[in-house]
Structure 1
Amino acid sequence: MPLTKPNQQLRRDLKDAEFALESAALEIFHKAQAGSDAEFLEAMKQVGKLHELADRLVGYGEEVKAGRIERQKAK
């Protein structure tokens, strides 16, 4: 069953947010490499959290695609 336009937009929005999180994680990682060991370890915790959030968004996008999550029309 094809996705409705609102659900297509929701899935695109989730993919865009996931990409933004992954990009931010990569930027933090590259900047942290120039810092001290303590700064690097703290940055890696942040990077890990961003990756976890990005993974959740991918999962939500798959649920939208499968029809388990739907965007309702505004009332």
Structure 2
Amino acid sequence: MWLNESEQQLRRDLQGLASDLRWSAVELLRIEQQLRQSGNEADAQAIQRLCALFQGDEEKLSGYAEEVKAKLISRNRHEEGETLKDE
């Protein structure tokens, strides 16, 4: 099935956001290692929890992008703006 322009943009946006979360988590893990090395275990653990949240959100966004591709989620533009509709 082909995606309309709005759905293609939605899929790209979801994939981009998932990628942003992945790279943010990578950077945070680098900071977490530095905190551990400096003996700041409490902040290192807090960052580790944030990374776990980011990973879960990344997986959700990637899943939504695949649902858009499979036409389980669609986006239609209306004159008044954009709407996101689950089918």
Interval containing the TM-score (normalised by the shorter chain):
over 0.9
TM-score, L = length of structure 1: 0.94
Ranges in structure 2 where 5+ consecutive residues have no aligned partner: 80-87
After the TM superposition, list the runs of 4 or more consecutive aligned residues in structure 1 that deviate by more than 4 angstroms.
none
**Whose strand proportion is higher, 1 or 2?**
2
Higher relative contact order (CA 8 A, sep 6+): 1
Alignment of 1:27-38 (within 5 A): 27-35=27-35, 36-38=40-42
The number of residues matched between the two structures is 75
Larger CA deviation: 32-41 vs 60-69: 32-41
Identical-pair percentage: 32
| 2:9 is equivalent to residue 18 of structure 1 | no
Ranges in structure 1 where 5+ consecutive residues have no aligned partner: none
**Whose helix proportion is higher, 1 or 2?**
1
Instruction: Name the larger-Rg structure.
Output: 2
